[in-house]
Structure 1
């Protein structure tokens, strides 16, 4: 009886201790993730405003601009991944108080942002004939070409802004990001209204006005960020330093080496969605328009998991630095759990009021929008499950990076997205003739496979590092 009582007491204490850990670390995780999520929401609001206003113009306009924006975002994401490593490298140099190195890394980031910007701009301007060969509606491609003719040059200020973003984050001074992004939303709304409809004596540019507004906001945001840095006594010396204007081969190579696997992972994920968008585009204008709206809705929710992923990655890096891999393992599971909880709560809203959500993006006043609305509502019901896996795989990428694995997520993305998700989407949507719903189902299968592979890889790596650190044999029970 005494032994049983002791065992029960020990179990209760362990459970209480575990519960206390989850509460305490949930607070730390959410406190770190919340400002990141807010900044992400403000950023995605820029494209959301574009899609909402395009939804008032008609099916061809939504489809054409949606195709153009999807292609632009594919390359923007790839370029952003390449300069993401600037923040890590700057942070290391800051710890060593190596101000020359920080300036050189800033230059290196601008160098790669400019190279990517020019190459990607040319690619977007020349991609039209390829899209027709891939089965896209020629009318939609022509209109998308008009949109890209204006939007493509915006790649340069967009990537320059991203480089400054990671530079200031590495110096632990990312403060102006949220304020600049929020201001950009207001400017985007105003410019879209003026340029689409032709106000204040300006001509009505129609849907191309959205592209003009977007490029203008990219440029103004970058210039505003530069102005903020020049007024900051801590940041200004780095931007005005001669090292920030001088070639440094080692810094350029360092940014390339660290950013390349991150860029590859980002490109693989974005490419997966872009190729599926092309598959859906081959099914008709209405299907492509529905995909454009659905992508934007899911992208908004994705910002929650992006913030959680970054926060969990930082906390795991701290545990990794202290060789506490049991803590890293638990933090990874904690971040994943909060991603699932958040997306399930959103899924309830999708299931209860799907029509109301879609009506925010597509005007029911146009008779030819009825089929698009019906398709998007169906897609939203599928997305209720899909976004849970999407959040899990996004957080899986972050927690693996936190524990020191940057190549693993790229390899896993090739399997989950390209060897499982893409074939499943094509087989169900085109071969089995399920249409756009089949493509969305295949996309869900690919995200689920990727999420599972990433989570297993994280747990195995954390357990292996824990055993190596503790010197325990391979048969030692894994920590919970």
Structure 2
């Protein structure tokens, strides 16, 4: 079989899981994109404040998602072993079902703890924004937004725990339908709370946060209802966190804490750069917010590919197929590069068009923000190749159950390379926001190279020793 034929075959296998996940991720990011667009209608100050609040929310949400992400890998490995078992322990039998239920309960327990802790941290973060060099008016408005967003973190992480269950079982179809519906509901609630429509109170910027909180709660209930109607998922849907097995919880935390730290390292890096951009004034922060949202949108392609590649690596290693696990890396990177190339052309050819949903490109009030954002798109056109590659690298290592290496590598790439570069380029060389984004590029590129090299070496080591799947949870 030729390399091209193998790539096409592997690409189809990866796409079977990746495409629903990518579309779900894109639909999900439409929630924050809608919020950003609605905030932009209120003006640059509200956009800057709301963007700052969303950055903090995403920081804590991302770390919470990291804690439950390994649920999908554990379930995928258990399901693969059960499918291949010749001794009557396959899917639908007591042994395999009990293992999946243990993982699901433990995932819900971890999500509950993370959601409660994160909500408290969000409320506290709102009180210290003024000490972080932000404009006082921006800090005050961001604080009210954070209070409205905080309660939504708990149902958001419950949704993620159930989502990982459905992905691990390779039945993610309901996710896309639910997420698309949530975008429409979120847009309607945003508009209603912003303007006092349909009998709802006019809340302005905090209304955007309240709408997001309500949508997270509704999305979790909808996904739970769909899973309860699925004949394969329903018998395994054990959500009571109070009955979680402590050993399984500890195992998930052992895998999840480094993942959360890895995600948090990246999100924290972006959060710090947002604070840096804010120190250059509201126009710089508004430009940073708009461009960061564009990056966040396209990043969902990498997230979907990363999750699909990670799940497939777990399955292939459970079956002892090392060559297939090695090809998954090449296939995922090739797919990501093709998408990023198309996006880069759009950024470079049509900058005004891509910025228009976030900034009024024809208004004098936003002129400075538009000028800064247009320059940043030149950097982003290159940056997104490395952003996708590093996220895929994290997913590949997670498929090996190597979650600690990803964290250590992101510390090097983001904090030992990227952050000092941001200080040098942004402040010492006075490139300001452009310098900060050039530093982001350097940090992401370093991280991507180190992660992919680590995956190749780890897989080669396992293949040489004949080590496949670690012990089951």
* TM-score, shorter chain, exceeding 0.5: yes
Change (3 A) 1:33 1:230: closer
Structural RMSD (CA): 2.2
Q: Which of 44, 47, 66 is the equivalent residue of 1:59?
A: 44
Q: Which of 327, 334, 337 is the equivalent residue of 2:334?
A: 337
Q: Distance in 2 between matches of 1:208 and 1:87?
A: 34
SS class of match (1:283): coil
Single out whichever of 346-355 and 356-365 deviates more from structure 2.
356-365
1:245 to partner: Cα distance = 4.5
Matches for 1:103-252 after TM superposition, within 5 Å: 103-239=101-237, 245-252=242-249
TM-score (norm 1): 0.89
Change (3 A) 1:319 1:107: closer
1:144 to partner: Cα distance = 0.3
1:244 to partner: Cα distance = 5.9
1:118 to partner: Cα distance = 1.5
Note the residue ranges of structure 2 that are not aligned, 5 or more in a row.
83-88, 468-473
Asked if 2 retains the 8 angstrom alpha-carbon contact of 1:103 and 1:244, the reply is: no
Single out whichever of 118-127 and 437-446 deviates more from structure 2.
118-127
Q: Distance in 2 between matches of 1:267 and 1:291?
A: 19
1:364 to partner: Cα distance = 3.8
In structure 2, the residue matched to 1:37 is 22
1:35 to partner: Cα distance = 1.5
In structure 1, the residue matched to 2:74 is 89
Q: Does 1:25 align with 2:10?
A: yes
SS class of match (1:136): coil
Q: Distance in 2 between matches of 1:88 and 1:459?
A: 19
SS class of match (1:114): helix
TM-score (norm 2): 0.90
1:26 to partner: Cα distance = 2.6
Q: Distance in 1 between matches of 2:311 and 2:66?
A: 17
Note the residue ranges of structure 1 that are not aligned, 5 or more in a row.
1-15, 471-480
Q: Distance in 2 between matches of 1:187 and 1:361?
A: 20
Single out whichever of 53-62 and 319-328 deviates more from structure 2.
319-328
1:366 to partner: Cα distance = 4.6
SS class of match (1:55): helix
Single out whichever of 144-153 and 248-257 deviates more from structure 2.
248-257
Matches for 1:421-460 after TM superposition, within 5 Å: 421-460=418-457
Bigger RCO (CA 8 Å, 6+ sep): 2
Per-residue CA deviation, residues 129-186 of structure 1 (Å, 9 max, x unaligned), is: 4322221212111100011111111111111111111122233332211111110011
Q: Distance in 1 between matches of 2:13 and 2:100?
A: 29
Q: Does 1:266 align with 2:263?
A: yes
Asked if 2 retains the 8 angstrom alpha-carbon contact of 1:85 and 1:255, the reply is: yes
1:325 to partner: Cα distance = 3.3
Q: Distance in 1 between matches of 2:442 and 2:241?
A: 46
Asked if 1 retains the 8 angstrom alpha-carbon contact of 2:322 and 2:463, the reply is: yes
1:388 to partner: Cα distance = 0.9
Aligned length: 454
Change (3 A) 1:92 1:462: closer
Single out whichever of 254-263 and 103-112 deviates more from structure 2.
103-112
